[in-house]
Amino acid sequence: MTQYILALDQGTTSSRAILFDHEGKIAGCAAQEFPQHFPQPGWVEHDPNEIWNSQLTVARKVLQDFDVKKVRAIGITNQRETTVVWDRKTGEPIAPAIVWQDRRTADYCEELRAAGKAKMICEATGLELDAYFSATKVKWILDHVPGARERARKGALCFGTIDSWLAWKLCGVHVTDVSNASRTMLFNIHLMRWDSDLLALFDIPEGMLPQVVSSSEEVGVTREALFGHAIPVAGIAGDQQAATFGQACHQPGMVKNTYGTGCFMLMNAGRHPRTSHNRLLSTVGWRVDGETDYMLEGSVFMGGATVQWLRDGLGIIQHSSEVEALAGSVPDSGGVFLVPAFVGLGAPHWDPYARGAIVGLTRGSNKAHIARAAVESIAYQSAELLAAMQKDASMPVTEVRADGGAARNDMLMQFQSDLLGVPVLRPKVTETTALGAAYLAGLAVGFWESQEEIARQWACERRFTPAMGDDQRAQLLAKWKRATERAKAWETPL
């Protein structure tokens, strides 16, 4: 009898539900976009109930053609850092979710930096002091929603990232896994627990925080009314850690890069945190069977979202899928560089005051050159991450495994390989984020026996090898660096 694992992949712009069989193949898939809210410049919000409703809708849609009793478990993977605070009794959010891209707390982060708190935060969490992470977002909600802090102190409020919110709605449990906890800027990755000093620094009551669980263990069962049958929730991981697991990067030195709304490059650093000296993040990958794998990570805020801006902001394409043909209609960018610092710059710059810039324009520049520069910007930013990663790591990188929506763009993948100087491998199953969540859930219930069995399922669909000379690569990267410098510190802190 064929059985399945259901993965709930709650992303920044859409919610997906994917059903996987034992071979790791997709048996069913449904997706639904949900609204993005931009109430002020630099602010990005979601409605938590819209997230939940979209996730429930796609889960029900994908299950309608299957016997729900054949679903062994559910795995959750999610946009990380996005912050939800809700009422413990009613389950209703007290404010919009503050999205990872949101920059409203950048000035507060600068105050903390000036007060000398960045070193303390980095040593405990492995993270840069930045508005990207959850801690300052929780504090902002408690400071700005009337009565919220008092209610939190009385234990009436729950905080969670999106995995916690979904687990609460599915099962009524208040949990998060170690990978998501490590992205809050409140979790000590050495002691593997919430850090009391950081909670005091941000004035966040510990009682509103979720219980931290492993990435692969049963945490509850869904309410029967949701799907007509109670299903165990047995796997949770942040989207980038889940994608790394789904790419079978289980051994130290293996690297994957996800080309989604943002770009996220992760290297398996082994069983101990590795301190970065090049402004990368040291973060928890997953905890399975009592063993924790750590990662080095570089985060690019605007990856595929840059293509969405071409569509929604400039209107030079109607659908994101059109960008490859438009960009490919010219042999190169014509000297145009687009730095997509619309919400600041992530690793290795960490500049919340950078802003988007297009440089190198001439009278001969047209929309195709801008489109190509936009696509190439994704590869340039990722090349910066690998360069920093190779400086931090004592192990050589021999290949990069690519996934995410933009990884389907052959031109981007070839240009990426050219800039990195190493092969880029695209797997047959590109839904590796959902697959990783499914694998974690399946391991917990015995659907798969081991990580070795999972690794054997990984298969390459196409291998892109470098075809660019060293001199040309160096010239392009030097120009990119010049363009980036012009975008940095455009805004100034108050």
- Give the whole-angstrom CA distance, residue 424 versus residue 403: 10
**Rounded CA separation 20/123 (Å):** 39
**pLDDT at position 294:** 96
Identify residue 7 by its one-letter amino acid code. Answer: A
User: Half-sphere exposure of 348 toward its Cβ, with a 13 Å CA cutoff?
Assistant: 19
Separation CA 76–CA 177 (nearest Å) = 10
Instruction: Please name which of 108, 107, 83 lies closest in space to residue 96, comparing C-alpha atoms.
Output: 83
Total Cβ atoms within 10 A of residue 153:
14
Residue with tokens 């160096």: 474
Q: Of the candidates 405, 418, 408, which has an alpha carbon nearest to the alpha carbon of residue 465?
A: 418
290 carries a ligand binding annotation? no
Contact criterion met (CB below 8 Å) for 215 and 179: yes
Residue 50: the pLDDT is 97
Q: Say how many CA atoms lie within 13 Å of 224 toward its Cβ.
A: 1
pLDDT at 70: 95
Question: E strands along 227-289, which residues?
Answer: 232-238, 255-259, 263-270, 281-288
Look at the block and give the residue holding tokens 């070193």.
Answer: 119
Residue 204 burial by Cβ neighbours in a 10 Å radius (0-12, 13-18, 19+):
buried
* 134 labelled ligand-binding: no
Backbone angles phi, psi at 145, to 5 degrees: -95, 120
12 known ligand binder: yes
Instruction: Look up the pTM and report it.
Output: 0.88
14 is in an annotated binding site: yes
Instruction: Write the DSSP symbol of residue 93.
Output: B
Tens place of pLDDT per residue across the chain (494 aa): 799 999 999 998 899 999 999 999 999 999 999 999 999 988 999 999 999 999 999 999 999 989 999 999 999 999 999 999 999 999 999 999 999 989 899 999 999 999 999 999 999 999 989 898 999 999 999 999 999 999 999 999 999 999 999 999 999 999 999 999 999 999 999 999 999 999 999 999 999 999 999 999 999 999 999 999 999 999 999 999 999 999 999 999 999 999 988 899 999 999 998 888 888 999 999 999 999 999 999 989 888 889 999 999 999 988 888 888 999 999 999 999 999 999 889 888 988 889 999 999 999 999 999 999 999 999 999 999 998 898 888 778 889 999 988 898 999 999 999 999 999 999 998 889 999 999 999 999 999 999 999 999 999 999 999 999 999 999 999 999 999 999 998 987 65
247 a known binding residue? no
Distances from the Cα of 239 to the Cα of 81, 207, 219, 236, 341, angstroms: 11, 26, 18, 9, 22
Q: What is the distance in angstroms between the CA of the first residue and the CA of the last residue of the chain?
A: 63
Count the Cβ atoms, other than its own, within 10 Å of residue 25.
12
405 is in an annotated binding site: yes
Q: What is the dihedral of CA 185, 191, 197, 202, to 10 degrees?
A: 20
Task: Tell whether 308 is in a known binding site.
Answer: yes
Do 107 and 494 meet the contact criterion of CB atoms below 8 Å apart?
Answer: yes
Distance CA 415, CA 411 (A): 6
**Rounded alpha-carbon distances, angstroms, from residue 213 to 72, 195, 216, 260, 358:** 20, 16, 8, 26, 44
- Residue 304 assigned as binding residue: yes
Q: In this predicted structure, what is the pLDDT of residue 42?
A: 85
Cβ atoms of 23 and 2 within 8 Å: the answer is no
Q: How far apart, in whole angstroms, are the C-alpha atoms of residue 443 and residue 478?
A: 45
User: What is residue 241's predicted lDDT score, i.e. its pLDDT?
Assistant: 96
223 is in an annotated binding site: no
Residue 81, annotated as binding a ligand: yes
Read off the tokens for 310.
């071409």
Domains of the chain: 4-239 (3.30.420.40)
259 three-state secondary structure: strand
